[in-house]
Structure 1
Amino acid sequence: MPESAPRNYRSLDPRSLRGLAHPLRMRLLNTLRHDGPATASQLAHKLGESSGATSYHLRQLAAHGFVEDDPERGKGRERWWKASEDGTSFDDSLFTDPDPAVRGAADLFLHEVATTHTQEVGTWLGTAREWPDEWRRSSDLSDWTLRLTPAQAYELNQKVHELIESYKDLAPSADSADSEDAAQVRMHLHAFPRSTD
């Protein structure tokens, strides 16, 4: 991923990667980032898990600094959790770490990211007809094959990331007239070389 981590993004190191690289932990963190604060019970219901499992994995995420208490919401024994950062950046050096556990965690992490992207696209395709025409026209499943050097591919990724980040400032506030037409929009970017053999 490009070097410049935008906004409140966390760069994974070997320790934090090992703490995050678990399918349920990644789903919990994504849900808190996309849908906002929630309790372990609410997350369990949403993700089809037991509240014991979500509670345990939320505590593990908290131990690694990915989630924290949301003091504005909790009442009595009810503990609300929120994501500590907006996103995560992955450094390629994790693939070549001398510790095989770190390299395995890197593989698992990226495969889970790819699985999540596939599930999100599948959900969109299965529900697209429930959305208004303007949202269906605004969606995109494009792909290109370019012949680039590694430096050109890196530069292209940087420019795409910067463009996407620039749209975060354009989001309508919750009380603006445009907010009724706004929805969360997921952007997936996959760029990788392929063999032509």
Structure 2
Amino acid sequence: MEEPQDPQVRNLDARSLRGLAHPLRMRLLDALRFGGPATASQLAETLGESSGATSYHLRQLAAHGFVEDAPERGKGRERWWKAVHRGLGFDDSLLTDTDPVVRGAADMYLHEVATTQTRDLSTWMGNRTEWPEEWSRVWDMSSETLRLTPELTRELIQKMHDLLESYRPLARADDDPDAEQVRFHTHAFPIAQDRTETQP
């Protein structure tokens, strides 16, 4: 993957990856990135966890620079948290790091990302009838299979990312009643095929 240049996107390194690679921490970070600032109690209710667990893992995320206090939202004694970055960048070299702990954390992180994306799609499928008709007509779940070289695959992936990024300046303000957060998932991977040749 290309390293993001956007300052709002944090590139994961070995240390920060070890601090993030935990299912609940990843869910907490996603909840703050996409749902906005919240307290540990609010996140516990949203995610079906105890407030003790969410408080502990929020502090761990803060120690690694993923979340920070949101004092502008704080009222009373409860602590509000917000995400520091809009997105995360993953370097494939983490999967081949010399430290097996880092390799394990990288593998766990990617599997959790895949699980989250599957959960997002399943949630939409289960709730789509609750959305206005105009949203029910614009969703997409499609796949294409092309025979490409690694170079062409990398080129196509970059073009897809560039296209999505070109729409960022067009994103609507939070107070636009016609706009919603729309999630785009992109997956590109080779399909294993049996290359055994039939002997005559």
Asked if the contact 1:58–1:67 (Cα under 8 Å) also holds between the matched residues in 2, the reply is yes
Q: Which residue number in structure 1 is paired with residue 198 of structure 2?
A: none
Matches within 5 A, 1:139-178: 139-175=139-175
> In the TM superposition, what are the counterparts of 1:86-97 in structure 2 within 5 Å?
86-97=86-97
Distance 1:128 1:77 in 2: 38
Is contact 1:97-1:103 (8 Å) kept?
A: yes
Ranges in structure 2 where 5+ consecutive residues have no aligned partner: 195-200
1:186 equivalent to 2:183? Answer: yes
Distance in 2 (CA, whole Å) between partners of 1:51 and 1:116 is 21
1:47-94 CA distance string (max 9 Å, x none): 000000000000000000000001111123211000000010110000
Q: Say if 1:7 and 1:86, in contact at 8 Å, map to a contact too.
A: no
1:111-156 deviations in Å (ceiling 9; x for gaps): 0000001111101111111112221111000100011111111111
Structure 1 equivalent of residue 45 of structure 2: 45
Unaligned ranges ≥5, structure 1? none
In the TM superposition, residue 4 of structure 1 has moved relative to its aligned partner by: 3.2
Please, what is the CA RMSD of the aligned residues?
A: 1.1
Query: Which position in structure 2 is the counterpart of 1:8?
Result: 8
**How far apart in 2 are the matches of 1:126 and 1:73?**
32
The corresponding residue for 1:128 is 128
Q: Secondary structure at the match of 1:180?
A: coil
Q: Distance in 2 between matches of 1:77 and 1:8?
A: 29
Which consecutive aligned stretches of 4+ in structure 1 deviate over 4 angstroms post-superposition? none
SS at match of 2:116: helix
Q: Which has the larger radius of gyration?
A: 2
- The 8 Å contact of residues 33 and 82 in structure 1, kept in 2 or not, is answered as yes
3-state DSSP of counterpart to 2:27: helix
Change (3 A) 1:164 1:6: farther
Judge conservation of contact 1:70–1:80 (CA < 8 Å) in 2. Answer: yes
Q: Which residue of 1 aligns with 2:30?
A: 30
Cα distance, 1:7 vs. partner?
5.0
Q: Deviations over 1:151-181 (max 9, x none)?
A: 1111111111111112121112234xxx211
CA–CA separation in structure 2 for the residues paired with 1:7 and 1:101? 27
Query: Is 1:115 paired with 2:112?
Result: no
CA contact (8 A) 1:5 1:11 kept: no
Superposition TM-score, scaled by structure 1 size: 0.95
CA distance in 1, matches of 2:152, 2:63: 39
Once the two structures are overlaid, the 10-residue window that deviates more, 49-58 or 143-152, is: 143-152
How far apart are 1:2 and its partner, in Å?
2.4
Amino acid across the alignment from 2:99: D
Residue aligned with 2:82, SS: strand
Identity %: 68
Q: Partner letter of residue 190 of structure 1?
A: H
Q: Is the 8 A contact 2:4 2:89 kept in 1?
A: no
